[in-house]
Amino acid sequence: MAKQLMKGNEAIAEAAIRAGVEAYFGYPITPQTELLEYMSKRMPELGRVFLQAESEVAAINMVYGAACAGRRVMTSSSSPGISLMQEGLSYIAASHVPVVIVDVMRGGPGLGNIAPSQSDYFQMVKMAGHGDYKPIVLAPATVQEAVDLTALAFDLAERYRTIATVLLDGVLGQMMEPVELPAMRALPTTPPAWAITGAAGRAKNSVVPFRMQADDLEALNLELQRKIAEIARREVRFKEYLIDTTSGSTDKAELIVVAFGTAGRVALSAVKAARQKGICVGLHRPITLSPFPDERLSQLADEARGFLVVEMNAGQMLQDVKLSVGGQAPVRFYGRTGGQVPMPDDIALEIEKLDEMTGHPLDHKIEGPVALRPVDRPARRQETSRTSRN
Amino acid sequence: MIAVEPFTEQVVFQRPRAMTGAPTTYCPGCMHGVAHRLVAEAIDELGIRERAILVAPVGCSVFAYNYFDIDSVVAAHGRAPAMATGLKRVQPDKIVFTYQGDGDLASIGIAEILHAAGRGENLTVIFVNNAVYGMTGGQMAPTTLPGMKTTSSPLGRDTRTMGHPIKMCELLSQLDGAAFIARRSLHSPAEIRKAKKAIVQAFKTQIEGRGFSMVELLASCPTNWDMKPVDALKWIETHMVPIYPLGDYKTRVES
C-alpha cells in the first residue's frame, strides 16, 4: 500500500480501526482530541460503536463494559484524563479483560499544559491505580511505529487478557509523517467463551473485580503475577542504534544513551553527532516500557563505561534503568519538564560530560549526578514562548 | 375396594428461574431479597433470562451477581450506568440492567446516571433507596431524610450544613432521554405488587427500544436504622413516602 501523510492521532485511530476495534469511548482532551474526532466520523461509517462519554471516568467504565462483552474496545486520552481512568484500569486488571488505551502525554502536574511530555511513565508503567498489576506499555518514536504498535496492542491485549497501552507524547500525536497503514482486518465473529453475552444455552458467566476471601484474592493476584512474568519473558521489545556488542569490534559502544519515544528520536541525532566527534556512544530505545528490557540493559552494563538516560520528565524511566544496570556503571540523567523537548545539542553535551566523567576506569563505580537541565545554558527563547501557551 | 384419587402435583410457588438459590448475605428484614425476587420474576415472565445482563453495584448488593442466574458483572462504585452503556452499545439485542443503591446512584455515580438518562441509553435501572449507606454501616446518604440520624450525622441530618435529600425520579424525569421513571415502595404486600408491575414495565420499555427506564424502590434497612423490621416498614410509609412521593414520573410512549 502507498504511503500517505497523516497526523499521529489520526493515524493511530485508523490503525485501530484496521486492527478491528469494534467500539471507542472517549472524552475530548488536548493533545489527543483528533483521535476522538476521527473515530466519531469513521466508526459510524463502518457500523461500529462511537460514544463521547461525559467524563474520562465514564469512558473507561464504558470500555470496561464493552470489554466484558468480549469486544475489541479502546479509549484514548491525555495525562490528566488518564489520571481519572486509573480507578477503572484497576478494575479492568482485576477482571482479566482486554482493553487498549492510548495516552498522548502532555505537561504536568495538575492542569499542566498541552505541550508534549513523558511524565506519565510512572502512572502508566507502574500503574497509579490500587493493587498489584501491570499493563503492557508500548512507546512509539515515529507515526509509523505508532500505527504498528497500535495493532500490536490489540493483539497483545487479547492474547494475555490484559491492558495494553500505547504511550506517546504530544509531538507524535500532532506531527504529520508518511505512514503505511495495514490492511483492514475482519472483525471476530464469535465472542470468547468467558464473555458476558447472556446465558443462552450455557451456564452463566460473571466478571467480578473482587474476591472477599483472602485465599481467593491472593489466587487472583498470583494469576496476575504469572501473567506479568509470562509477558516479561516473551514480549520485551527495543531498538538499538550504533551499539555493536561484537567482541573486539572497534565500533563497540562504550557509552549507552537510553531514551524512549520522542526523547529517543532526539537522542539519536545527538548520538550520531557524538560519534562524529569520536565518542563511542550508542542508543538503546525501549519500545516496551512494560515489560522493561532490563535483561538487555544489564547485559550492556557488563561492558559499558556509563549510561545517560534522557527523558521529557524529571527522571521516571531512570529508576528502571538504574535497577537494570544494578550499579555496574554510572547512570547520568538529562531531562526536561514542563512540556520542553530536549535539543540534540544539549543531549550531545551531556554525552560529552559522561565521556569525560567515565574516562578513567576507576570512575566506573561512581554514581553520576542528575542534571534536570544544563545550568550553563540560558533557556531558549523558543522554549519560553512554548510554555506560555495553554 | 377403596378408590384412590390420582395424586396430581401443582406448583403454586417456587424460586424464579432467574435466581440461583444461593443464600444471600442480606440482614434479616432487609428488602433487597424482595427487590431481587421481583426483578427475577419480571425477567422470567418476559422470557428474557438468556439475554439479560446484570450490572451489580458496590454496596450491599455487590453480591447480586451471585444471586441472579444470568450473566453478570460488578461495576466500580457509581459506575454501573457507564459499564452498562458499554455492554449495551456493543450488543443492543441484550437486556442490560443495573441494580444500584442510593449512595452508589445518587452520590458517587450521579454523573453516570444523569448522562445515561440524558442520552436515552436503552437500559433499565433498579434503584433501591433505603436512605443510608448500608454496607459501610449506615452513614448519611444523599437520600437521607432531614433530621435523620445516621453514623455520620449522629445529631440528625441538618439541612443547613448537610443539604437536602436528592430526589432522583424528580430529577431524571426532566431529561428528554428518560422514557420511563417511576417510584414505588416495598413497605406492604400491595405496594410490592405495584413495584413488580413497574419493574415489568421498565424492562418492556427497554425491550421495545424506547430508551432509559428506572424504577426507584423505597426500602428499609432495619440494621442501620436501628429498628425492628416491621417498624422499619411502617417508617417507610410514615416518613419516606411523604418526602419521596410514589408514582410514575415519566411514561413516554414514543421512542
Q: Report pLDDT digits (tens) over A179-190.
A: 999 999 999 889
Q: Could you list the residue range(s) of the whole structural domain that residue A299 is in?
A: 238-387
Residues A141 and A41 in one domain: yes
Residue A195: closest C-alpha in chain B: B71
CA distance B191 to chain A (A): 31
* A217 in the same domain as A327: no
Residue to test with chain A: of B17, B62, B67, B85, most A Cβ within 10 A: B85
Helix (H, G, I), strand (E, B) or coil at B114: helix
CATH 3.40.50.970 fits B32-251, yes or no: yes
Show residues of chain A in contact with B79, CB under 8 Å: 57-58, 61, 64, 88
CA distance to partner chain B, nearest, from residue A109 (Å):
25
Residue A66: its chain B contacts at CB < 8 A? Answer: 86-87, 89-90
pLDDT at B250 over 60: yes
Interchain contact, A66 vs B89, CB within 8 Å: yes
| Region B194-207 average pLDDT | 98
What pLDDT score was predicted for residue A366?
45
CA distance B85 to A22: 14
Q: Are B121 and B97 in contact (CB under 8 A)?
A: no
In a domain, A217, yes or no: yes
Using a CB-CB cut-off of 8 Å, the residues of chain B touching A201 are: 50
Question: What confidence tier does B252 reach under pLDDT thresholds 50, 70, 90?
Answer: confident
- Collapsed DSSP state (helix, strand, coil) of residue B35: helix
From A57, A69, A204, residue closest to B72, measured CB to CB: A204
A225 and A88 inside one domain: yes
Instruction: For residues A355 and A260, state if they share a domain.
Output: yes
Inter-residue long-range contacts of B74-77, CB under 8 Å, 24+ positions, other chains counted: B74/A206, B74/A207, B74/A208, B74/A209, B74/A210, B75/A61, B75/A64, B75/A91, B76/A61, B76/A64, B76/A87, B76/A88, B76/A91, B76/A209, B77/B104, B77/B108, B77/B109
Interface residue A205 vs chain B (CB under 8 A): yes
Do A175 and A317 lie in one domain? The reply is no
Q: Does A196 touch chain B (CB under 8 A)?
A: yes
**What is the structure's pLDDT at A375?**
42
Residues in chain A with pLDDT < 50? Answer: 361-366, 374-390
pLDDT band of residue B43 (cuts 50, 70, 90) is: very high
Query: What CA–CA distance (Å, rounded) separates B252 from A349?
Result: 71
Domain identity same for A254 and A348: yes
* Preceding omega of A191 cis (within 30 degrees of 0): no
Ramachandran assignment for A127, one of left (phi > 0), alpha (psi -120 to 50 degrees), beta (any other): left
Instruction: Please check whether residue A35 lies inside any domain of the structure.
Output: yes
Segments in chain A forming alpha helices (H): 8-18, 33-45, 56-68, 79-95, 121, 143-160, 170-174, 214-234, 261-276, 294-301, 317-325, 344-357, 381-387
A321 touches chain B (CB under 8 A): no
| Phi and psi torsions of B44, nearest 5° | -60, -50
**CATH number (domain holding residue A381):** 3.40.50.920
Q: How many structural domains comprise chain A? A: 2
Say whether both A213 and A324 belong to one domain.
no
ipTM surpasses cut 0.90: yes
Same domain, A315 and A220: no
Over the stretch B137-191, which tens digit does the pLDDT of each residue have? 999 999 999 999 999 999 999 999 999 999 999 999 999 999 999 999 999 999 9
B40 — pLDDT class (breaks 50, 70, 90): very high
Inter-residue contact B51 to B95 (CB < 8 Å): yes
Chain B interface with A: residues with Cβ < 8 Å: 20, 49-53, 55, 62, 65-66, 68-76, 79, 82-91, 94, 111-112, 114-115
Q: Can you give the CATH number for the domain in which A28 is found?
A: 3.40.50.970
A207/B89 Cβ within 8 A: no
- Examine residue A46 and state whether it is found in any structural domain, yes or no: yes
**Residues A275 and A354 grouped into a single domain:** yes
The reply to whether A177 falls in a domain is: yes
The confidence score (pLDDT) of residue A248 equals 66
Task: Pick the residue of B69, B87, B206 with the most A CBs within 10 A to test the interface with A by mutation.
Answer: B87
C-alpha distance from residue A179 to each of A14, A74, A101, A176 (Å): 11, 21, 21, 9
- Residues A140, A173, single domain; the answer is yes
| pLDDT score recorded for residue B1 | 65
pLDDT digit string (tens) for B68-94?
A: 999 999 999 999 999 999 999 999 999
Are A289 and A161 contained in the same domain?
no
Contacts of A58 in chain B (CB under 8 A): 79, 82, 85, 111-112, 115
pLDDT band at B253 (very low <50, low <70, confident <90, very high): confident
A104 and A243: one domain?
Answer: no
Closest by CA to B151, choosing from B135, B165, B136, B139, is B139
Say if A203 falls within a structural domain. no
Interface contact B70-A198, CB threshold 8 A = yes
